[in-house]
């Protein structure tokens, strides 16, 4: 059988439910999909490939799934530092009011997609203004994306100044992308502390009517918990439950401050949680109860959060922090195993993000989202356990090959994107303008 690509000569981690491995394995790709994953010798005998890619003894695995980010915030990287979440948002909102436009979001998101691709990320969930621009950036690299209009109670930083305009845009957005390959439309209410209960209930109705998943910040920081308690006499999870938004296709970003009853509500609803350890520790928001959530049967994914609060889009850092923080918080080394940490960034993370049928594991019929992690670096030698090496040793610099739905977007560590240098020049011009703007002041207001 003729195929497009055979990725071979590496240790394959299929990341399926059985955690199948092939010491010397290969992955067969045809028309952007995985045809088969197995022993290299068997696949060589069975397929004739137009292109053969040598993994050079590295680790062949699924592309990573970034379960929560604000891609275009690359424009504000390092802008608001060493502050709590509420102070961070105050500074960020002021900068966004002055510098967010379709053009700047397009440039910022393009730089983010390039950064993610070079780090082995092939799918991501995004929450930001002008979502069409981020979708275009993602699809330029054949990356899969969950995205949708942001909802807040104030006018926001796009051109949807009225609530009715925002809800109308959401419904049109859903229709526009419902059959677009690689695009999964969603609703993106910012949080319970930036929306009132009637508006949350209205969004539940829209989500139900159009079959849309919902992504929302929830229980991220102590300040949020107090705001919601003062407004509703409830936790954010309880508010979402009584407005109907806490359901099977609800993705809760952060979910750091959860009571036992909150976890029970999340598990009962079938909602998922996206853990963002880098921004949580940087903003001193706390440590999420990842192991308790998993024990309750909740699908947990990993995210980087925005590159303004977490500063980078590095899922390898997220994996390492997630594992180490659970060990520290529970007083138990390996409380979150290295194998499970990798699963949170791949198969389980894909399920948590609502893309589990399409990506996250090397199984026939799924998108050919495949990466090769080099093990040639001194910091990667020796590899006694591939999972431990990935979580505790590997980094973005080890990504050798990246395929997004079969398209070879990173080849031998180099981004394959014609014209990206011009995008980067535009990005630098915008960043220089922000830095020189006296209205904003150095590092925010």
At 100-113, the pLDDT tens digits run 999 999 999 999 99
* Sheet containing 214-218: order of strands: 214-218, 250-254, 272-275, 300-302
CATH fourth-level superfamily of 64-352:
Metal-dependent hydrolases (3.20.20.140)
What is the model's pLDDT at position 332?
Answer: 96
Asked if residue 375 has pLDDT above 80, the reply is yes
Which overall architecture, per CATH, does domain 2-62+360-405 show?
Roll (2.30)
**Comparison of pLDDT for 308 and 151, the residue scoring more:** 151
Q: What is the rounded distance in angstroms from the CA atom of residue 357 to the CA atom of residue 270? A: 16
Side-chain half-sphere CA neighbours of 113 within 13 A: 28
What is the model's pLDDT at position 441?
Answer: 55
CA 242 to chain centre: 27
Q: What is the rounded distance in angstroms from the CA atom of residue 312 to the CA atom of residue 278? A: 9
**Comparison of pLDDT for 93 and 69, the residue scoring more:** 69
pLDDT band at 362 (very low <50, low <70, confident <90, very high): very high
Matching fold, domains 2-62+360-405 and 64-352: no
Q: Among 396, 401, 397, 394, which residue's Cα sits nearest to residue 379? A: 394
pLDDT band at 91 (very low <50, low <70, confident <90, very high): confident
User: CA 264 → CA 67, 326, 340, 437, distances in Å?
Assistant: 22, 20, 21, 48
pLDDT-above-90 percentage for the chain: 89
139: its two tokens: 């699809």
Residues 146, 372, 278, CA angle at the centre, nearest 5°? 50
Strand partners, 11: 59
- Counted residue by residue, the chain has a size of 445
Q: What is the rounded distance in angstroms from the CA atom of residue 208 to the CA atom of residue 272? A: 17
At 13-36, the pLDDT tens digits run 999 999 999 999 999 999 999 999
Contacts of 399 (CB under 8 A, 6+ apart): 118, 119, 120, 371, 372, 373, 374, 410, 413
At 191-222, the pLDDT tens digits run 999 999 999 999 999 999 999 999 999 999 99
- For residues 284-301, give the mean pLDDT: 97
Q: Among 162, 380, 124, which residue's Cα sits nearest to residue 274? A: 124
Asked if residue 440 has pLDDT above 70, the reply is no
Mean pLDDT of the chain: 95
What is the model's pLDDT at position 78?
Answer: 87
pLDDT band at 445 (very low <50, low <70, confident <90, very high): very low
pLDDT band at 439 (very low <50, low <70, confident <90, very high): low
pLDDT band at 443 (very low <50, low <70, confident <90, very high): very low
- For residues 79-92, give the mean pLDDT: 80
Question: Which stretches within 6-145 are classed as H helix?
Answer: 40-46, 85-99, 102-118, 131-140
Q: What is the pTM of this model?
A: 0.96
Domain extent listing, the chain: 2-62+360-405, 64-352
At 183-196, the pLDDT tens digits run 999 999 999 999 99
Contacts of 295 (CB under 8 A, 6+ apart): none
Contacts of 429 (CB under 8 A, 6+ apart): none
pLDDT band at 224 (very low <50, low <70, confident <90, very high): very high
| DSSP per-residue codes, 367-392 | B--EEEE---SGGG-S-S-HHHHHHH
At 296-345, the pLDDT tens digits run 999 999 999 999 888 999 999 999 999 999 999 999 999 999 999 999 99
- For residues 61-88, give the mean pLDDT: 90
SS3 label, residue 326: helix
Asked if residue 348 has pLDDT above 90, the reply is yes
Asked if residue 418 has pLDDT above 50, the reply is yes
Q: What is the rounded distance in angstroms from the CA atom of residue 424 to the CA atom of residue 188? A: 28
What is the model's pLDDT at position 438?
Answer: 53
């Amino acid at each position: 059988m003729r195929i497009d690509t055979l990725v071979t000569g590496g240790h394959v981690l299929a990341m399926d439910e059985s955690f199948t491995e092939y010491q010397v394995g290969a992955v067969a790709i045809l028309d952007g999909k995985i045809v088969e994953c197995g022993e290299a010798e068997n696949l060589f005998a069975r397929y004739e490939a137009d292109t053969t890619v040598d993994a050079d003894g590295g680790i062949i695995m699924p592309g990573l799934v970034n379960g929560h980010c604000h891609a275009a915030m690359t424009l504000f990287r390092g802008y608001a530092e060493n502050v709590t979440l509420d102070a961070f948002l105050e500074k960020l909102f002021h900068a966004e009011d002055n510098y967010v436009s379709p053009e700047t979001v397009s440039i910022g998101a393009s730089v983010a997609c390039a950064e993610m691709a070079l780090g082995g990320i092939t799918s991501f969930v995004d929450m930001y203004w002008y979502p069409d621009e981020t979708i275009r950036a993602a699809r330029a690299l054949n990356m899969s994306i969950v995205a949708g209009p942001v909802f807040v109670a104030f006018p926001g930083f796009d051109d949807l100044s009225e609530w009715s305009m925002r809800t109308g845009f959401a419904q049109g957005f859903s229709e526009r992308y419902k059959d677009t390959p690689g695009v999964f439309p969603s609703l993106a209410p910012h949080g319970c502390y930036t929306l009132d209960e009637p508006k949350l209930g209205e969004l539940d109705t829209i989500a139900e009517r159009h079959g849309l998943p919902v992504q929302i910040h929830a229980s991220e920081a102590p300040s949020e918990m107090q705001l919601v308690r003062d407004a509703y006499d409830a936790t954010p999870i309880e508010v979402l439950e009584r407005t109907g938004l806490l359901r099977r296709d609800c993705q809760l970003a952060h979910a750091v401050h959860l009571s036992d009853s909150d976890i029970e509500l999340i598990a009962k609803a079938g909602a998922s949680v996206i853990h963002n350890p880098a921004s949580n520790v940087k903003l001193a928001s706390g440590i999420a109860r990842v192991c308790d959530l998993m024990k309750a049967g909740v699908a947990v994914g990993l995210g980087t959060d925005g590159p303004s609060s977490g500063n980078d889009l590095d899922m390898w850092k997220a994996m390492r922090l997630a594992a180490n923080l659970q060990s520290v918080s529970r007083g138990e080394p390996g409380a979150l195993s290295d194998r499970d940490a990798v699963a949170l960034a791949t198969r389980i993370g894909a399920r948590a993000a609502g893309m589990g049928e399409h990506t996250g594991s090397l199984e026939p019929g799924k998108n050919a989202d495949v990466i090769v992690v080099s093990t040639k670096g001194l910091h990667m030698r020796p590899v006694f356990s591939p999972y431990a090496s990935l979580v505790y040793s590997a980094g973005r610099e080890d990504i050798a090959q990246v395929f997004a739905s079969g398209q070879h977007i990173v080849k031998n560590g180099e981004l394959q994107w014609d014209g990206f240098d011009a995008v980067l020049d535009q990005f630098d011009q915008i960043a220089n303008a922000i830095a020189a703007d006296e209205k904003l002041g150095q590092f925010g207001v």
